[in-house]
Structure 1
Amino acid sequence: MALWLVIDLESTTEEGGWPVEDMEIIEIGVSLVTRDGAELDRFQRFVRPRQRPLLTLFCRELTHIEQADIDGAAHLDVVWQELERWIEPYHGRLQAWVSWGDYDRQQLVNDWRRLGIDSTLSQLPHINLKQRFAKIRQLEKPVGLNRALELAGTSFFGEQHRALTDARNTAKLLPSVLPSLS
């Protein structure tokens, strides 16, 4: 059975946003799904940033992630090893990894390079579901996750801007895009 990893990240930020190179991951959420979007497994971890370990008020309000969650978390290099071990049993069946937009891919590539991480994901194709969804729906421009879910006849479930919740909601859109991935 073919499988896909749907990944979402939450990162340090301030109102108005920071460049990707200045952001650090504070939460990773991964939903392992089948072609029809059915979740088989999931992974979620908080990550303690190194450069800016104190979350801004804006970041805490946006993500609902508490400073204590981050203070008690491991750094990305340790969390990434946990994720790699979690992925290992599925590796032979993984078709690609998916994210809503390109931010998550850019952040991971930057962090892998910065930390010298050789990731399993770098060997898999990445699908920017936001772009693919817009192309399939013949939208003038890509839309946000909530709007895409509405267009697909469903709605967002759970708390927005939490990595696993966002990944699970993104996975709902995978079946509508996969037929175009041949």
Structure 2
Amino acid sequence: MGHWLVIDLEATTDEGGWAMEEMEIIEIGASLVGADGHERDHFQRFIRPQRRPCLTDFCRELTHITQAEIDSAATLPQVWAQFERWLTQHAPRLVGWSSWGDYDRRQLEQEWRQHQVHSLLTEVPHLNLKQAFAKARQLQRPVGLHSALQLAGMQFQGKQHRALEDARNTARLLPLVLPIKD
């Protein structure tokens, strides 16, 4: 019975958005989901950005992440080592990983390169759940997570723009897209 990992990131930004090269991950949330779509395990950490350690007012308001939480967080290489240790125990049953859209995958790949860290995630396929949901529902174009949940007859649970809650809500849509088999 395979597991899927659903990842969501929060990153530094400001009103109007920043180019991806300018953004840095400030929170990772990962929900490991079994074949039945239920969470088996999870991982959440804050990450201290290196280039712009002070969060913008916009970023703090959007994510509800405080400057103190970021100031006391470890850097990406330190957090990634913790994540990989956590992931290793699940690796034998990991079928693939998913995110809502392609941003999270691209941001991770960018920071893996910058920090020269390796990830087990490069050894399993990535599913862009936003695209897969749109295709499964025959939508003309992909929709946001909130809209997708509503289309599926679900409500968003928890706070939006927090990595673990976003990952958990994204994971709820996985069984609707994947014919998850035992």
Scaled by the length of structure 2, the TM-score of the pair is 0.97
Quote how far apart the aligned CAs of 1:35 are: 2.3
Report whether the alignment pairs 1:85 with 2:81.
no
Q: Which amino acid aligns with 2:126?
A: H
RMSD value, Cα: 1.1
Q: Which whole-Å CA distance do the structure 1 matches of 2:172 and 2:36 have between them?
A: 8
Cross-structure match for 2:67: 67
Q: Which whole-Å CA distance do the structure 2 matches of 1:46 and 1:125 have between them?
A: 25
Cross-structure match for 1:143: 143
Cross-structure match for 1:52: 52
Cross-structure match for 1:105: 105
Cross-structure match for 2:32: 32
Q: Which whole-Å CA distance do the structure 1 matches of 2:99 and 2:82 have between them?
A: 20
Identity across the alignment (%): 64
Quote how far apart the aligned CAs of 1:29 are: 0.2
Q: Which whole-Å CA distance do the structure 2 matches of 1:64 and 1:37 have between them?
A: 27
Q: Which consecutive segments of 4 or more residues in structure 1 shift more than 3 A?
A: none
Cross-structure match for 2:18: 18
Is the CA contact 1:31–1:43 (under 8 Å) kept in the aligned structure 2?
A: yes
Greater CA deviation, 117-126 or 62-71? 117-126
Q: Which whole-Å CA distance do the structure 2 matches of 1:74 and 1:24 have between them?
A: 13
Per-residue CA deviation, residues 117-151 of structure 1 (Å, 9 max, x unaligned), is 11101111000000000001000100000110011
Cross-structure match for 2:164: 164
SS at match of 1:179: coil
Quote how far apart the aligned CAs of 1:180 are: 8.8
Is the CA contact 2:9–2:26 (under 8 Å) kept in the aligned structure 1?
A: yes
Residue-pair matches, total? 181
Cross-structure match for 2:7: 7
Q: Which whole-Å CA distance do the structure 2 matches of 1:37 and 1:151 have between them?
A: 18
Is the CA contact 1:35–1:174 (under 8 Å) kept in the aligned structure 2?
A: no
Q: Which whole-Å CA distance do the structure 1 matches of 2:81 and 2:155 have between them?
A: 33
